[in-house]
Amino acid sequence: MFSTVPAALAQWEGYPTPAIPRLPDGKPNLSAPLPRKADGKPDLSGIWQSTRGAFNIAVGLKRGEVVPFNAAGKALFDERQANNSKDEPGARCLPTGIPMRNQLNTPMKIIQIPGLTAILYESRTTFRQI
């Protein structure tokens, strides 16, 4: 007999990620100084998630405004719309690169240690080692 515990999936909800500077109300302090490693370089370790709309480059535009394409960008956009983005770089490249990841609403975790930076993607359970 197998049993599952659905509530276990949310066991970390509300758990504050350690080492994030916080405001008195507990929210992350987005104006805090950039964390630094011992060598003084920026420490990007942590969980990151884009706030941009997934694949919608018109997010934030007001009614009647259009996306400000240049001629080459508009031509490429129209071509990819016509052929269902079959030649878009992410169509055959896994894991997805950072430019495309910024269009998705799934988190990624950056791990920085001396000599290695790794990015773990929430979707497709993939990683990128730099």
Rounded average pLDDT per 10-residue block, the chain, 130 residues:
47 66 89 89 86 66 88 92 82 74 79 89 78
The C-alpha R_g of the chain, in whole angstroms, comes to 19
Residue 10 domain flag: no
Q: Given this model, what pLDDT does residue 78 score?
A: 93
Residue 12, domain member (yes or no) = no
Residue 111 lies inside a defined structural domain of this protein = yes
Q: Into how many domains does the chain fold? A: 1
* Spatial distance between the Cα atoms of 32 and 70, rounded to a whole number of angstroms: 36
| Residues of the domain holding 41 | 17-129
pTM of the model: 0.59
In a domain, 23, yes or no: yes
Q: Is residue 6 part of a domain?
A: no
Q: What is the Cα–Cα distance from 122 to 111, expressed in whole angstroms? A: 14
73 is a domain residue:
yes
pLDDT given for residue 18 in this prediction:
74
Q: What is the pLDDT of residue 6?
A: 47
